[in-house]
Amino acid sequence: MRTSLTESEMEMSEMAEVIFRRCYQLVENKSDLKTILNYIYDVEERSKQGSIDLNFALDEIGNKEIFKSMWAPLRKTYEHKKKKASICFIYFFKTIHQHLVFYGRDGVDKAEFTKKLIADRNSHKKEVSIDKEITFKQGNTALKEGNSKRALELFTALVETDPLNSQHYSNRAQANLQLKNYWEAYCDNKRALLLDRSSYKNYYQAAKLHIEFGQFDKAEEMNKLAQRFVKVHRQEHILKQAQEIDEAKKKMSNARLGDMLSSKKEKGKENEPPEVVPADEFHNVLQHIIEAYNSSRYNKSLNLCNTALSLISLNGLEITRANKDDLLMLNYVHAMSSIYTSLNIPSAIERLKCIKETDRCIAAYYGLGVGYLMLHSFNEAQNYLTCGLDILRNESKYAIWPMALQSLNETEPNRLDKLINEKLKECLPPKPDGVCRYHVDQDKKSIEIYKQAPDYKGFIRLQCTANCVIDFHKSCWKTYKQNFGDKITDKVC
């Protein structure tokens, strides 16, 4: 690969992001916050000279109910990295602990405290302070002139002086991009996004990085966010990038494909390697996909599926010697990998529904059950899982890749039967955090509201003087206000 970002580094970064996103809901519950505070207190009581007892911290967090509830939906994806995942949880808990101590004990906003700390540090520096405005202009000029190394030096100086300015990180990421320091650019882009989630430039840059990594689904997701925040008169290059991503998903160069999949050449061979036959390349990709998927490396299987589908699009089914079953199962693995990595679950569900209609892949019912469970749509999940189990027990046929040397684990009848039964046990819905009483949102089929749902964006709760409680989805609340605006201030039922 032409990027310095290793697969292990990328997977670790994605895992931390998924875990943090999932843990945000814990800060809304007083009981959970108390558990977090007590846990960090216990861990720090056993720390020595600033180093924590990691074994104790890992053992303790594994016994916490809040960890078990957060870990359950992530277990299948990250079971083989449970220790690293647990450390991400510990780091999140410590971050929350710090903020609570600053607010609750010291009455200080940590963000403002950090800004003051930086200002004090800069004022006591012996070195000559830089003029931020002049340095910023010089950095931008260097970027425009293609003097990337100079731009990198200037924006690094600005970051050190003003480490909470998202624009400095974004510009330094751009300099690293030009220098092909992709890992450094990726980290700076992440910092820029954390500091400013409303800048279309940050999302545009993130999309550009994911294109470099061959992660076109993520690139598309970032580009859509850029389109959401950009002003109309500046849309042209954002839309152009969207077209580039779309074309890249359909067609991938043979050079890049060969770079991803070729093994090391035998020593002593000086002749040019023979031209790779598309059918051989395709067959090779299939084996890599099955190995990655069966070993729960879903990020890798998703990327390889994109590669295989691009190869079919480029050469056609006949040249690659791929049949309709190959295409069917490629789409199945693509959908399941998207679900397990929490990337565009609704799109993955639609893909599985198309597969289900072919009547050639019973595992599609299992996939739909998993997808709807991830969305906390328990009734839909139960319906598909029950239907899949009935079909499986009446028809023992199942889909295997004809060209593959090994099958997908979950397409084997006995294992599929077991997996469906396991998922059916999860279909008993827990008590919802709220129930929408004026449900009009077509995108949300369920009136129940769950904070743990991936698409959870908060909800509105009204309470009268008699303590009657009424809940709404945010979108449903807007419609309710439009229709009953003159009555919503009533405090008496």
Rounded to whole angstroms, the Cα distance separating 39 from 370 reads 32
Check if the beta carbon of residue 269 is closer than 8 Å to that of residue 389.
Answer: no
Tell me which of 50, 80, 111 is where a domain ends: 111
Do 50 and 157 fall within a single domain?
no
Tell me, what DSSP letter sits at residue 411?
Answer: G
Q: Which residues contact 232 (CB under 8 A, 6 or more apart)?
A: none
Using 50, 70 and 90 to split pLDDT, how confident is the model at 307?
confident
In a domain, 192, yes or no: yes
- Of 77-86, 190-199, 259-268, 451-460, where does mean pLDDT reach its minimum? 259-268
Helix or strand run (H / E) with residue 472: strand 469-473
Please check whether residue 255 lies inside any domain of the structure: no
> How confident is residue 396, by pLDDT bands cut at 50, 70 and 90?
low
Q: Among candidates 485, 476, 480, which has minimal Cα distance to 439?
A: 476
Q: Has residue 385 got a pLDDT over 90?
A: yes
Residue 128 has pLDDT above 60, yes or no: no
pLDDT digits (tens, 9 = 90+) for 74-119: 887 788 888 889 999 998 899 888 888 887 777 777 777 887 887 7
Angle at which helices 298-320 and 236-250 cross, to 10°: 60
- Asked whether residue 391 falls in the same domain as residue 467, the answer is no
Residues 57 and 177 in one domain: no
- How far apart are alpha carbons 45 and 128 in whole angstroms? 42
Domain that holds residue 32: 7-111
- Angle at which helices 413-424 and 378-394 cross, to 10°: 150
Domain end point (choices 235, 250, 265): 250
129 pLDDT tier (thresholds 50, 70, 90) = low
For the cut 80, the answer to whether the pLDDT of residue 198 exceeds it is yes
The answer to whether residue 264 is domain-embedded is no
The CATH number of residue 169's host domain is: 1.25.40.10
- CATH code assigned at 397: 1.25.40
Asked if residues 445 and 455 have their Cβ atoms less than 8 Å apart, the reply is no
The pLDDT > 90 percentage for the chain reads 18
> Is the separation of the CB atoms in 135 and 154 below 8 Å?
yes
Asked whether residue 325 falls in the same domain as residue 231, the answer is no
| Domain identity same for 244 and 140 | yes
How distant, in Å, are the alpha carbons of 210, 243, 315, 333, 397 from that of 327? 25, 24, 13, 10, 18
Question: Is the same domain home to 156 and 172?
Answer: yes
319 and 393 co-located in one domain: yes
- 358 and 453 housed in the same domain: no
The residue that leads in pLDDT, 115 or 337, is 337
* Nearest in space to 305 (alpha carbons), one of 331, 283, 325: 331
User: H or E stretch including 460?
Assistant: strand 459-463
Tell me, yes or no, whether 418 lies in a domain.
Answer: yes
Asked whether residue 139 is assigned to any structural domain, the reply reads yes
Q: How many domains does the chain divide into?
A: 4
pLDDT tens track for 205-240: 999 988 887 778 888 889 988 988 887 767 788 888
pLDDT at 269: 44
1 occurs within a structural domain: no
* Residues 6 or more apart whose Cβ sits within 8 Å of residue 480: 438, 472, 488
Cβ 287 vs Cβ 301: under 8 Å: no
| Gyration radius of the chain's alpha carbons | 26
Q: Based on the domain organization, do 415 and 448 belong to the same domain?
A: no
Boundary of a domain, candidates 181, 215, 250? 250
163 assigned to some structural domain? yes
What is the average per-residue pLDDT within 141-145?
93
Task: Specify whether 388 is located in the same domain as 471.
Answer: no
Which stretches of 101-147 are DSSP H helices?
A: 110-123, 132-144
| pLDDT bucket at 21, cuts 50 / 70 / 90 | confident
> Is residue 76 domain-shared with residue 100, that is, in the same domain?
yes
391 within domain boundaries: yes
Residues 66 and 152 in one domain: no
pLDDT at 415 over 90: no
- Helices vs strands, H then E, count in the chain: 23, 4
